[in-house]
Chain A
Amino acid sequence: MSMKKHYQRPLDFKTGRIDMNHGAGGRASAQLISELFAPAFDNPFLRQGNDGAQLPAPPAGHALVMATDAHVISPLFFPGGDIGCLSVHGTVNDVAMLGAVPLYLSASFIIEEGFALADLRRIVESMAAAAREAGVPIVTGDTKVVEQGKGDGVFISTTGVGALPPGRQIGGALARAGDVVLVSGSIGDHGVAVLSQRESLAFETAIESDTAALHTLVAALLAAVPEGSVRTLRDPTRGGLATTLNEIAAQSGVGVLLDEAAIPMKPQVAAACELLGLDALYIANEGKLIAIVAPEVAEAALAALRAHPLGRDAACIGVVQADEHQFVQMKTALGGMRVVDWLAGEPLPRIC
């Protein structure tokens, strides 16, 4: 990817904008890669400079796992993060929730013509920092540019590959009656942080997105309890805690009984939801996980989560129960009972 620098004017990261040439595969594309993406993500695999990366096979007996995620978010920058770090965390977490060790990421950018190079650099650098911090290199990628009006600034799609140790089985279908439901911390932070930045909605809140890579938290949890006692791990992203638990209930053919008073939630999140007529149980999280564990390890699992900086506020929020209707139910903070249903469509603010 080397090019004689002095024959070409360097990219103008102050006032420059993406144009159609940057996606045409010619010199401008190469320049974008060599001046922005390659130095930011730099690692030996990327340096191979091919269209794909050649990667070492996982240790014998391990299975490969793969997850992919497209990130479209508005606004692109929000308190506590941006689309760049989010696109790393999201995919690392999807791999980690299977109990696998995330190894490599790929990244594909769809950028809208006219997008400011300064913003793109900010996003790429945040993404690179997130990947480095997680210890999961971005080993291959792609860039496309679409005409103005055909994109929303930037879309980033990431794919992650990980290695699953022999014999490990963690999945959404493995929860059984009697198991205990744990959550690694307060819910709704990410969704509320993003909402607070919507142009038409801008409200003051100290809430930051919880976006984070959770694989070390998963590792700490798995190390603390016997293999097999963690049945299900899931990060409650879009659709929030409620939707995730309904998915698990359906996959495992069980019911869940939650205790509302035990669900950790920051007061600012509760207040913002109140204001907007939204239910925090349905609000997205990007740095929290739900763990369904065997009852006999619940204490140890909770202690392991709480000992990790990303799980300090972990709590036991409910139990899995036999229920042919696969209802997620909740004992409300006031002592009543209700169903916590699937989300119908997008959560929309109520008018009154």
Chain B
Amino acid sequence: MKYVDEFRDAALARNLAAKIAAEVQPQRRYHFMEFCGGHTHAIARYGLAELLPASVRMIHGPGCPVCVLPIGRIDQAIHLALERGAIVCTYGDTLRVPASGGLSMMKAKARGADIRMVYSAADALKVARANPVREVVFFAIGFETTTPPTALVLRQAKAEGLKNFSVLCCHVLTPAAITHILQGPGVGPAGDVPLDGFIGPAHVSIVIGYAPYVPFALGYQKPVVISGFEPLDVMQSILMLVRQVNEGRAEVENEFTRAVSADGNRAAQAVMDEVFEHREVFEWRGLGEVPDSALRIRPAYAEFDAEVRFGLCYQGVPDHKQCACGEILRGRKVPTDCKLFGTVCTPENPMGSCMVSSEGACAAHYAYGRFRDIPVVAA
């Protein structure tokens, strides 16, 4: 616990805040995107925005695996449970994501679907072993952090010759999503979307290393700092980004030296590579179709691929017309710019992806930050 406390020391935070304030240049504005929902959450939960100078604006990127899960994928999982009688196992916060027809996995459960919350991919395998006469599907979502465990259970299932286990693979890739944003409309040097740098997720880099970020730091001239998830990590990373911008540098820097290396975890990469291959294209909620941005199961593991096993076809489902998620994820809008924010779209009844998980930009602003929109009488 001591370990965590060191990264939440208020005096250190003030110190960092003072440094950032001292180093930002008066004429300049700084727009940094934290790609990962974990950082969005830390910024909101610890009220970090309050500690930053007004000229530093944080943009909440698309890095929440729950938020970017398209409706069509959740529909597939619900279909497997409701129509095909499978036991569908999934991570907890996936349960609330709205699907078509007013359903979510939680609501489907109430209609009799056998959907079970698991805490790890390995637990899904246990469910399969315990229910040999039922089809058990693991609805696998997440970025590079949750991918190796899925790869491991696939390998295990094959080794055991399990006949009733499969994986509906919705794993997505971080670098591809960042590239997509950088290539999006208006982001370039002449564009209207200011993006001066990125905070990269440390847990992803523990797996893939920080080398994959080098091309767009160089190619797009955007500094990247790989950052831990403690509030002081985030503050330190912002300071490092400010310095890079001030000095005209665009490099990949590593704030999280306590665990991240250039190459990441080779063993994890090897098992991922054995089991998965890249999809040509994958739909992201809020961003649309993103090329080369997700994984599917290799033919050698086809019998454990739920899409193959159940002959699933992907059917995209559009979001609410007025939902501004896509533009929020790209930094073009803030949650309060959306007409639906806080009225039609709330955490209890999310319309768009950003409101789904507590790490989404709209949900985070709703839960932690909306007091800033309304003047509150001080004590």
Contact = CB atoms under 8 A, between A and B. Distances in A.
Interface stretch (B79-87, B117-125, B190-198, B296-304): B117-125
B119 A350 contact: no
Nearest to A330: B47
Centre residue among B93, B95, B141 by max chain A CB count within 10 A: B93
B50 A335 contact: yes
B4 A274 contact: yes
A201 B231 contact: no
Q: How large is the interface on A (under 10, 10 to 19, 20 to 34, 35 or more residues)?
A: 35 or more
Interface stretch (A79-87, A166-174, A317-325): A317-325
Nearest to A266: B1
B38 to A, nearest CB: 6
A339 B368 contact: yes
A260 to B, nearest CB: 9
Interface of B: 1, 4, 8, 10, 13-14, 17, 36-38, 41, 44-51, 65-66, 91-96, 106, 117-120, 123, 126, 141-143, 145-146, 203, 231-232, 346-348, 357-359, 363, 366-371, 374, 376-379
A114 B27 CA distance: 74
B203 A352 contact: yes
Contacts of A322: 377
Contacts, number: 127
A348 interface: yes
Interface in A267-303: 267-268, 270-271, 274, 279
Nearest to B51: A336
B46 A338 contact: yes
Contacts of A268: 1
Interface in A315-352: 319, 321-325, 327, 329-339, 341, 344-345, 348-352
In this complex, the member of A271, A327, A341, A351 whose beta carbon has the largest number of chain B beta carbons within 10 angstroms is: A351
Contact of B1 (A177, A271, A332, A338): A271
Contact of B93 (A267, A332, A351): A351
A336 B120 CA distance: 33
Contacts of A218: none
Task: Report the 4 A-B pairs with minimum CB-CB distance, sorted nearest first.
Answer: A336-B47, A344-B347, A348-B92, A267-B1
A288 B96 CA distance: 30
Given A261-B10, A332-B46, A351-B92, 16 more contacts: A200-B126, A201-B119, A255-B377, A270-B1, A323-B376, A334-B10, A336-B50, A337-B47, A337-B50, A338-B46, A344-B367, A350-B41, A351-B93, A352-B37, A352-B146, A352-B203
